[in-house]
A and B are shown apart, each in its own frame.
Chain A
Amino acid sequence: MTGVSGSTLSAFVALFGMQCVALAAESPPEAVATPAANAVEVRIGAVLASNSSQDFDARLASMHRQFNTLFPYTSYRLVKEERQRVPWGGKVGFDIPGGRYVMVIPREYKNDRVSMRVMVIEGARPIVDTAVSLRDHATFLVGGPRQHEGVLILSIGADTLP
């Protein structure tokens, strides 16, 4: 048997131990079981975006980066904000400017993601009918419907409730 000194072997094993610890420290945490969520709060914000001024509504501070990065407008004004609690499978409706109507039906909560059906209805036609899933507490945007001198941008999100 080839001789390997004890100190060399010790060094190898110590190095291996350090690698294991480093890997363990870097690896992502194990998936956490999604806690039961009995209901969900759907929130919606209607923002009027335009180039009519340089005003940015202070209430939209948390979305400042998104708006400035994603859209070519200079002015953003929150014209409506509403939250509604709803059981899973239930539906909530929101009237939004321009005689439009948003209906949201939260479907399920799985792997920290909320699945829901979202419909934006203008007159008699659904301008958006989509099934989306997004992280709990996250927000996605629906934009484009013309409103006065600008466009309407809707922020739609959901927060699970214990």
Chain B
Amino acid sequence: MTCRDAVNLLPLFFDGELDANQMRSVALHSTRCGNCEDELRRMEQVQEMVSTHVNAAIDEVDFAALWRGIDQRLGTVRVSWWSRARAWWSEGEHGWMIKLPAFAAAAAVAALGFVLWTRMPASTPQPDAAVVANLDNAASIDSLESDGDAVTVVNDPETRTTVLWVSDDPPGGEGTP
């Protein structure tokens, strides 16, 4: 591949939009051609600058102020669930036929909540990356192409691991998982 060929493909290469053969060719060319490598580096710098500025601008947006503005215009009176419950309880129209079960239910919920809370571990340790990797390695394959004779996709439920097995042998041949 010459510089003339490569220069038109560099933006597409940078965006990862070329097919695998062209990606390979441009990648190989850029490792040997200083001009094209510089051009790619410039594209990376531009992307990074744009990304940095956009992210900084997003960070500066104060969404809290936005919500405060909306909240002020809502103009509704909020009554907490606790106030509503107290008002309901003190209305006096409900007999003990209703109050007693309600009280029992609240007590049961509180007791169970307390039991669950006391049985919870004090803190949950964060597993490290290796442990997490062991937990669920199942990948979803959105597209798959190959110049090989056969590609087998194996999703093993036991280890929750996905394997792409490329083989020049027919599927099920030697080594296929």
| Residues of chain A having any CB pair with chain B under 8 Å | 4, 6-7, 9-14, 16-18, 20-22, 25, 38, 62, 65-66, 69-73, 87, 89-91, 93, 101, 103, 105, 113, 115, 117, 119-121, 124-146, 151, 157, 159
| Residues of chain B having any CB pair with chain A under 8 Å | 15-16, 19-21, 23-24, 27, 44, 47-48, 51, 55, 96-97, 100-109, 112-113, 116, 129-134, 136-148, 151, 154, 156, 158-159, 161-168, 175-177
Tell me the minimal C-beta distance from A75 to chain B in angstroms: 13
Do B136 and A138 have beta carbons less than 8 Å apart?
yes
Residues of A within 8 A of B19 (CB): 129
Choose among B140, B162, B167, B175 the residue that contacts A141 (Cβ–Cβ < 8 A): B162
A72-B176 Cα distance, complex, nearest whole Å = 8
Do B143 and A142 have beta carbons less than 8 Å apart?
no
Tell me the minimal C-beta distance from B141 to chain A in angstroms: 6
Q: A9-B97, A103-B23, A127-B148 are in contact. Are A38 and B55 (CB under 8 A)?
A: yes
Do B104 and A10 have beta carbons less than 8 Å apart?
yes
Q: A17-B108, A20-B109, A138-B133 are in contact. Are A126 and B21 (CB under 8 A)?
A: yes
**Closest B-chain residue to A134, C-beta based?**
B139
A-B contact count (CB 8 A): 193
A159-B130 Cα distance, complex, nearest whole Å = 11
- Give 24 CB contacts A-B under 8 Å: A9-B101, A10-B105, A14-B104, A17-B104, A17-B106, A18-B109, A21-B109, A21-B112, A62-B131, A66-B161, A69-B159, A89-B47, A91-B16, A105-B16, A120-B166, A126-B21, A128-B146, A132-B142, A135-B138, A136-B132, A138-B136, A139-B133, A140-B163, A142-B163
Do B165 and A129 have beta carbons less than 8 Å apart?
no
Do A130 and B166 have beta carbons less than 8 Å apart?
no
Do A143 and B165 have beta carbons less than 8 Å apart?
yes
Tell me the minimal C-beta distance from B10 to chain A in angstroms: 12
Residues of A within 8 A of B104 (CB): 10-11, 13-14, 17
Residues of B within 8 A of A73 (CB): 175
Q: A87-B48, A119-B23, A142-B163 are in contact. Are A66 and B148 (CB under 8 A)?
A: no
